[in-house]
Structure 1
Amino acid sequence: MQEQTYKLDPAFTVSEERTLRELFPATHDLALKKCQSKLDKHARDFIERSPFLCLGTQSADGKADVSPRGDPPGFVKILDQRTLAIPDRPGNNRLDSLANILANPSVGLLFIIPGFDDTLRVNGKASLITDPELLESMSVGGRSPRIAIIVEVTSVFMHCAKAFRRSRLWDPNHHQDRADMPSLMEIILDQTTGSPEDQLEMRKLDEALEDEYKNTMY
């Protein structure tokens, strides 16, 4: 693998907001006005339809992280016009997002609906809750989450479709074959202990991961 050789040239580095804004046209008035402080009927409808979101957090020392969250549509509960509840499903137990929330409660959410090019952005302050009644209301297959993320909404707005249209994310003609890359298990092993050369052994490891998915999704 090639060693890092790229170096920033200070002559072309933007380091001040004034300089940044001079590079772009003025913000459209509607783009400023669209930002809301609470969930209106359109935001609620979008969230209730969404089976997937990305959760952005930041640690106390400024390290950023983004985590995917997914469940059946409506998995994020709307508790009131300014409060959301996100179930935390079983994962790898790194707990990056949860630990970050304890250190810095500011979070950003990006709600996505399959087939929709536009998205919904929500920013707010998060807390971690173990209320049994709330957790039980978010159970799937008789399994309740251990914890929920409560988000106090501070801003919410619709985001335009340009990124999804540029990427053609939902266009089947532009979908790539997952088999063109190694499996997730093989990639992780390559990055850590090394993957086995025996393809039969590798296939068994891949099958074991699929079994784990089936048994530990909730």
Structure 2
Amino acid sequence: MDAVTAPDAQPTDPDGRAVVDGYRAPGGLVLDKVIDHLDPHCREFIAHSPFATLATADPEGWPEISPRGGDRGFVHVLDEHRLALPDRPGNNRVDSLRNLAANPRAALMFFVPGVDQTLRVYGTTSLVRHEDLGVDLTEFGRAPLSVLVLHVRKAFFQCPKSVMRSGLWDPAQRVAPGTLTPFGRVIKDHCALESDLPDDATIWADLAQEL
């Protein structure tokens, strides 16, 4: 994407309140759809979701967002007020878990391929060992390293307009192979490495062994 040069904006409304106040008030359904538990519709959606994003923040308020995925229903609904998100092998940065250890508030956004609406769930969390949960969350032949239990404070379905605008599930929107810079080259440049990394096919094959 080409860079666009623009002059520094000089806001006349430094705290942004006038900008926010310029939006029309939300309709009644937008507010009324927020519930404090996982009803059957939420549970059905989560059971079909293979992908979600986890949002956390550190004690100073800096946000973190992390993709999470697995087989459909990889996030397990324990009851209408609790769900369990298993933590699978990753890059071991554990930024989200470090945040939650200090600031237990979190949000999950669930996606279902081919479905334009998304589901947002907010709550407080506790981190537990898999063996202490009493529920088998083994997937891809591995037990999770830990489990995040989210105690639901609110849940609601998100308006599908953003997904509709993006054409996220439209096959015609798929990026053709070779369009983007190979991932190995990206990491080499980001890390200022002197030697090349393996080709992407090799990298993906190695990652697949660690799912």
TM-score (norm 2): 0.91
Aligned length: 209
1:92 equivalent in structure 2: 91
Between the aligned partners of 1:191 and 1:15, the Cα distance in structure 2 is: 34
| Contact 1:135/1:144 (8 A) holds in 2 | no
RMSD: 2.2
Q: Which runs of 5 or more structure 1 residues have no equivalent in the other structure?
A: none
Map of 2:53 onto structure 1: 54
How far apart are the structure 1 equivalents of 2:24 and 2:135?
A: 49
Which position in structure 1 is the counterpart of 2:200?
A: 206
Query: What is the rounded CA distance, in whole Å, between the counterparts of 2:23 and 2:209 in structure 1?
Result: 50
> Would you identify which runs of 4 or more consecutive aligned residues in structure 1 move more than 2 Å?
4-8, 12-16, 19-22, 133-136, 193-196, 204-208
Is the alpha carbon distance of 1:145 and 1:119 closer, same or farther for their aligned partners in structure 2, counting shifts above 3 Å?
Answer: same
Displacement of 1:177: 1.6
If the length of structure 1 is used for normalisation, what is the TM-score?
Answer: 0.88
Indicate conservation of the 8 Å contact 1:86/1:148, yes or no.
yes
Q: Percent identity?
A: 34
1:85 is displaced (CA, Å) by 0.2
CA displacement at 1:182 relative to structure 2? 1.5
CA distance in 2 between partners of 1:57 and 1:141 (Å) = 26
Question: What is the alpha-carbon distance in structure 2 between the residues aligned to residue 85 and residue 38 of structure 1?
Answer: 14
Distance 1:135 1:171, change over 3 A: farther
In the alignment, what sits opposite 1:216? 210
Q: Does the Cα contact within 8 Å between 1:52 and 1:111 map onto a contact in 2? A: yes
Q: How far did 1:55 drift?
A: 0.4
| 2:138 is aligned with 1:139 | yes
The 3-state SS of whatever aligns with 1:66 is strand
Q: Choose between structure 1 and 2: higher helix proportion.
A: 1
Deviations 1:102-159 (A, max 9, x none): 1111111100000000000001111111040537611024310110011000000011
Alpha-carbon distance, 1:21 to partner: 3.9
From the superposition, tell whether residues 52 and 187 of structure 1 become closer, same or farther in structure 2 (CA, over 3 Å).
same
Q: Does 1:73 align with 2:67?
A: no
Distance in 1, Cα, partners of 2:165 & 2:46: 23
Cα distance, 1:185 vs. partner?
A: 1.9
Q: Tell me the equivalent position of 1:37.
A: 36
